[in-house]
């Protein structure tokens, strides 16, 4: 008696999610030697973490470059480990409680000034001007770090001092990065008091300035917080997209001619984007107010 042929383990049918095709089975049998199992799992998590919505197997496989069968196996293991959650009805995956727990632990350990300091050093060396770091605190911001210019005549700031969000480039950069509703809330509940003769004190002028900052990607100040000083600044964000603070270059007004000012503005915008990336911010899927 001839026994019926046994089904190959690779020919199993996936009943819980997407059904595999013959092509998928062939792909699964091709060893992928270029990446370890851990690297492939991290690639899957990264694709899902970057996406603003849940994703299916096909999309995840395409974005990671992995065979669908391999992707499916990794996804199932990550669901079992609670790193991912699976929607049975829509056949979609999103980050699970395990990933959230690790993310929150990482955020608790995050030291923003320490993360940003190397970017300040590089910025100050590149520009030859003082680089500063400010963190947002509610409706104000505070200087927390600076790297001084090596020039004989240079600017410096008083660390730990608090400043309103409408005065100076570091403040305006943060304000412009906020959603419109928060900007309106700030204007509605805070007086635009003058810090110097150059401070913006008009609601209309401030609105126009915010539009300009969003277009350029950085803010400029001509003595708005400190007379005789000029600065350029850009805001940076944290992992969830929240505005964390701003990075700036500051110096004497006669050193910031227009052509150089535009170049310095591009440099601070790049530094802010780099700090954001180090803090875990991803630009994919974000809407409005993005930096850089």
- pLDDT tens-digit profile of 244-272? 999 999 988 776 777 788 899 999 999 99
pLDDT value for 60: 92
> How would you classify residue 228: left for phi > 0, otherwise alpha for psi between -120 and 50, otherwise beta?
left
Token reading at 42? 């991290």
Determine the angle formed by the axes of helices 180-189 and 203-216, rounding to 10 degrees.
150
* Residue of higher predicted confidence among 166 and 151: 166
pLDDT above 60: residue 17: no
Token reading at 276? 């954001």
Q: Where are the beta strands (DSSP E) in the chain?
A: 84-87, 92-95, 130-137, 140-147, 162-164, 219-222, 229-237, 243-252
SS3 155: coil
pTM of the predicted model as reported, rounded to 2 decimal places = 0.66
pLDDT above 90: residue 9: no
How confident is the model over 23-69, as pLDDT tens digits? 443 444 444 445 678 888 888 988 887 777 888 999 999 998 999 99
pLDDT value for 115: 92
6 class by beta-carbon count within 10 Å (0-12 exposed, 13-18 middle, 19+ buried): exposed
User: In which band, very low, low, confident or very high, does the pLDDT at 153 lie, cut at 50, 70 and 90?
Assistant: confident
> What does the alpha-carbon distance between residue 89 and residue 216 come to, in Å, rounded to a whole number?
44
Report residue 155: phi and psi, to 5°. -95, 155
In DSSP terms, 144 is beta-bridged to: none
pLDDT above 70: residue 83: yes
How confident is the model over 207-223, as pLDDT tens digits? 999 999 999 999 999 88
Q: What angle do CA 42, 48, 49 make, to 5 degrees?
A: 80
Q: Which range among 107-116, 187-196, 277-286 shows the weakest confidence by mean pLDDT?
A: 277-286
What is the chain's alpha carbon radius of gyration, rounded to the nearest angstrom?
25
* Residue of higher predicted confidence among 95 and 1: 95
Report the 10 Å Cβ neighbour count for 154. 16
Token reading at 241? 């997209």
Q: What is the DSSP letter of 168?
A: S
Mean pLDDT of the chain: 82
Token reading at 2? 């001839």
pLDDT value for 174: 97
pLDDT value for 35: 66
**Are the CB atoms for 84 and 99 separated by under 8 Å?**
yes
SS3 152: coil
Report residue 177: phi and psi, to 5°. -80, -15
User: In which band, very low, low, confident or very high, does the pLDDT at 2 lie, cut at 50, 70 and 90?
Assistant: very low
pLDDT value for 18: 43
Q: Which range among 27-41, 83-97, 187-201, 238-252 shows the weakest confidence by mean pLDDT?
A: 27-41
> What does the alpha-carbon distance between residue 61 and residue 47 come to, in Å, rounded to a whole number?
9
Token reading at 83? 């790193």
pLDDT above 50: residue 16: no
> What does the alpha-carbon distance between residue 25 and residue 277 come to, in Å, rounded to a whole number?
37
pLDDT above 50: residue 108: yes
- 178 Cα distance to chain centroid: 14
């Amino acid at each position: 008696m001839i026994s019926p042929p046994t089904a190959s383990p690779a020919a199993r049918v996936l009943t819980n999610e997407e059904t595999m095709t013959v092509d998928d089975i062939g792909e699964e049998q091709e060893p992928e030697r270029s990446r370890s199992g851990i690297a492939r799992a991290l690639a899957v998590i990264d694709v899902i973490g970057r996406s603003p919505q849940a994703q299916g197997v096909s999309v995840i496989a395409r974005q990671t470059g992995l065979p669908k069968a391999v992707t499916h196996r990794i996804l199932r293991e990550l669901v079992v480990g609670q790193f991912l959650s699976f929607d049975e009805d829509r056949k979609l995956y999103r980050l699970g409680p395990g990933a959230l727990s690790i993310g929150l632990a990482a955020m608790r350990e995050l030291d923003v000034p320490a993360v940003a300091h190397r970017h300040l050093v590089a910025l100050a060396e590149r520009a030859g001007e003082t680089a500063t770091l400010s963190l947002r605190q509610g409706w104000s911001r505070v200087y927390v770090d600076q790297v001084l210019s090596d020039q004989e005549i240079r600017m410096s700031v008083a660390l730990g001092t608090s400043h309103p969000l409408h005065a100076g480039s570091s403040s305006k950069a943060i304000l412009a990065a906020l959603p419109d509703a928060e900007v309106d809330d700030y204007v509605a509940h805070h007086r635009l008091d003058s810090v110097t003769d150059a401070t913006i004190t008009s609601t209309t002028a401030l609105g126009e300035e915010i539009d300009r900052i969003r277009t350029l990607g950085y803010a400029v100040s001509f003595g708005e917080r400190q007379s005789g000083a000029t600065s350029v600044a850009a805001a940076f964000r944290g992992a969830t997209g929240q505005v964390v603070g701003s990075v700036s270059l500051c110096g004497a007004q006669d050193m910031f001619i227009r052509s150089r000012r535009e170049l310095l503005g591009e440099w601070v915008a790049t530094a802010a984007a780099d700090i954001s990336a180090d803090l875990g911010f991803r630009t994919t899927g974000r809407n409005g107010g993005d930096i850089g």
